[in-house]
Amino acid sequence: MPSSTTNQIMKHQHTKQYLIALVAVGALSANIFAQAAELTGIVIGAKTPLAGSIVTLWAAGTGAPTQLAQGKTGVDGSFALTYGNAPTDSVLYIVARGGTPRAGNDRSEGLTLLSVLGGQPTKMVTVNELTTVASAYTCARFINGDVISGQPLGLKIAAGNTPNLVDPVTGGWGKVLLDPLNSTQTTALANLNTLSSLIAASFTVVNDDWRARFFAAATSPGGATPKNTLEAMAGIARASYAHPKELFALFEEAYPQPKDGSRRAAPFLPYLAWPPPDFMLSLCFAGGGTYANGRFMFDAQGNLWSGQNWMPGSQSGVERSIGGGVTKFSPNGTALSPAITGFTGMGLDGVGWGTAVTRDHVWATSFNGKILVMDFDGKPIGDESIFPFKEKFLGLMGVGVAANGDVWIADGSNNQLLHFPGGRPKDGRIVKVAGLRSPFDIVVDSQNRVWVSNSQSDTLVRFPATDPTKLETFRVGIGVRALALDTHENVWVASNMSLDFPVPKVPDGASIMEQFRIMGQAMLAYPKPTGVIHMIRPDGTQLDAKGFTGGGAVGVPWGLNIDGDNNVWIGNLSPRNRAVLLMAGADLKGLPAGTRPGDVIHEFKSGSIQMLTDVSIDPAGNVWAANNWNNPEAAALPNPPTAISTWGGGSGFTVIYGAAAPVQPPRMGKVRPF
């Protein structure tokens, strides 16, 4: 913010405070005045103050938002609002409408700016194009028109993530966006700036025809055409893949490239240099022991939990490794687990697919056959003696949690399952099931039927929890991995390889890492994409027996999850196509016309998206992608070059903002939309 503008605001603040004091002495009781809060700020458009903008402070909750205060900006763009107590658990936000800019022509009709402030805002705020884009993306799933409302947890998560992108006090870039993982490794900064420049253009340098085309290009599939810039940004956020070329063409039209190759006149730098595949806003997070992420699970407060294959900084790979622990991150990406080691205990040493969250605890299983059960502070609930088993396990994999609280664990090395009724460790028992071939993932439907994937086969099995002898077998792709239940209780299945893949011989009883060393080398050498997604209905029939490949977009799919609209989100492990895939599920709400179930809608790619194991959806509709491998040679070679020897495991994880329909945690049985 320019120093002259800052001085103007400070002068305005002092005058306002003096007036408030006079009014308080003359007309208000000390008790009422003590409850009043003061919020001052400035509204800026195209880098200059906006005079006469109508500024309204709102409190968002489950119903219609509550108006707390309203005012108008002065000639210097400043404002001051006095407001009382906001409703409990509400999120505060500011909407600024119209105003007269000092830059360019006054075409401020349709100009609506936004800044989401959270539950306890700072005393000073800036509202501008950057805050509008950031707030619209993090709150995309709660914006209807220019009103924000929704479930409290999702709103809280959205508000908590906004400062990662933009600082609400200065209106400048947020600290997470500026860190080395994000400022230079992805296009997030350029995407944010380009969209912000489009808002600025809408009221300074363009005509009504341009603005009409801008609103049309900002319309999400099946949505209403935006009437203002806030609605436009929310529409782009919900389907950032819908019209990226048209949006970039509008940017070029508003800010043409000078013939001498100098900078465009766009107000925000750096901007995009050519049309993007989408306008996604994403950030990468690390720390807390994160390295080679496995399964992603959210607890009831929206915190992320994930077991890690390997320890950060170690020269780990499939040949040799130092195992990782369990990580915990707050909903805004702040690491809450110990650096490097993560949470450990009960003999845990390296986690594969085995992470799950129940209503009471976090469960993690280990490559070395140990089980860690923790409270939500990461403290083990006991020692290994709480389990009744005398047998020695090795290679425990997926953990499935039923809606009734039962916990099931896949014993990948011994082709059996462990069952814990009600999630009670002391009541654990071994369940023998015919047809298991290195069981990997588990889901339990509302009929209490247990579905288990086979990582060394092309099948998955289903049986009643009360009678494992009543077994049904379903054929899908080869190397079956993740399973997920949509709201209709269709089971979606990810298989690493298509049925035509030439499968190498894997010794019986091979560890999961030995399996993947053999299979990984074969897949890396394979000259074309491989992998397939299937959907199996509750009655056992398949939507398509051949499955879905997205014309090659599906590449060694590992993890998948379902969002609140029953869309399918897939993590590709293939080094050829490092991407998060959005696939049409059983319902087609909000998808492009002509879409069919199983169609790949879009591939989200970024410099921070590596070889993925899992993708998971949080209560605000953000998509969290788990980087498992970074460099295949570092992960698979017995003695990789020292320079890349710590690059085998994936670095951190990526969060794509506002891209999915929110999901209620924890994941127990079928997906639960909010």
User: What's the pLDDT at 29?
Assistant: 33
Q: What are phi and psi for residue 127, nearest 5 degrees? A: -115, 120
pLDDT above 60: residue 6: no
User: What's the pLDDT at 102?
Assistant: 67
| Tens of pLDDT, residues 373-386 | 999 999 999 999 99
- Give, in order, the Cα–Cα distances in Å from 549 to each of 58, 477, 563, 611: 45, 11, 20, 18
User: What's the pLDDT at 105?
Assistant: 54
User: What's the pLDDT at 4?
Assistant: 45
User: What's the pLDDT at 122?
Assistant: 85
- What are the extents of the domains in the chain? 3-126, 476-674
| Tens of pLDDT, residues 571-587 | 999 999 999 999 999 99
**Axis-axis angle for helices 188-204, 129-138 (nearest 10):** 120
CB 327 within 8 A of CB 299: no
Q: What angle do CA 546, 552, 555 make, to 5 degrees?
A: 95
User: What's the pLDDT at 521?
Assistant: 81
| Tens of pLDDT, residues 509-553 | 777 778 778 887 887 788 899 999 999 999 999 999 999 999 999
For 659, the token pair is: 């891209």
Residue 155's pLDDT band (cuts 50, 70, 90)? very high
Mean per-residue pLDDT for 42-63?
Answer: 96
User: What's the pLDDT at 551?
Assistant: 96
User: What's the pLDDT at 103?
Assistant: 53
Residue 23's pLDDT band (cuts 50, 70, 90)? very low
- What percentage of the chain exceeds 90 in pLDDT? 87
Residue found by looking up tokens 């029939």 in the block = 541
User: What's the pLDDT at 35?
Assistant: 60
Q: What angle do CA 24, 30, 31 make, to 5 degrees?
A: 125
| Tens of pLDDT, residues 309-352 | 999 999 999 989 999 999 999 999 999 999 999 999 999 999 99
- What percentage of the chain exceeds 70 in pLDDT? 94
The SS3 assignment for 201 reads helix
Mean per-residue pLDDT for 149-155?
Answer: 98
User: What's the pLDDT at 18?
Assistant: 34
- Architecture of the CATH domain 3-126: Sandwich (2.60)
Mean per-residue pLDDT for 555-562?
Answer: 98
User: What's the pLDDT at 520?
Assistant: 78
User: What's the pLDDT at 107?
Assistant: 64
CB 198 within 8 A of CB 251: yes
Beta-strand ranges (E) seen in 510-599 are 532-536, 557-562, 568-572, 580-583
pLDDT above 90: residue 400: yes
Q: Which range (8-22, 57-71, 389-403) has the least confidence?
A: 8-22
pLDDT above 70: residue 182: yes
User: What's the pLDDT at 27?
Assistant: 35
| Tens of pLDDT, residues 218-233 | 999 999 999 999 999 9
Please choose, from the candidates 323, 325, 349, 350, the residue with its C-alpha nearest in 3D space to the C-alpha of residue 335: 325
> How far from the centroid of its chain's Cα atoms is residue 618's Cα?
6
| Tens of pLDDT, residues 447-476 | 999 999 999 999 999 999 999 999 999 999
The SS3 assignment for 481 reads strand
Beta-strand ranges (E) seen in 498-642 are 532-536, 557-562, 568-572, 580-583, 600-604, 611-617, 623-629
In the chain, how long is the greatest CA-to-CA distance? 88
- Give, in order, the Cα–Cα distances in Å from 134 to each of 165, 395, 401, 496: 6, 43, 35, 36
Residue 12's pLDDT band (cuts 50, 70, 90)? very low
Q: What angle do CA 615, 553, 440 make, to 5 degrees?
A: 45
pLDDT above 70: residue 503: yes
Residue 301's pLDDT band (cuts 50, 70, 90)? very high
| Tens of pLDDT, residues 608-659 | 999 999 999 999 999 999 999 999 999 988 899 999 999 999 999 999 999 9
User: What's the pLDDT at 106?
Assistant: 57
For 455, the token pair is: 């990582």
Mean per-residue pLDDT for 71-97?
Answer: 96
The overall average pLDDT reported for the chain is: 93
pLDDT above 50: residue 295: yes
User: What's the pLDDT at 2?
Assistant: 43
User: What's the pLDDT at 51?
Assistant: 95
User: What's the pLDDT at 31?
Assistant: 36
User: What's the pLDDT at 14?
Assistant: 44
CB 397 within 8 A of CB 353: yes
CB atoms within 10 A of CB 393: 21
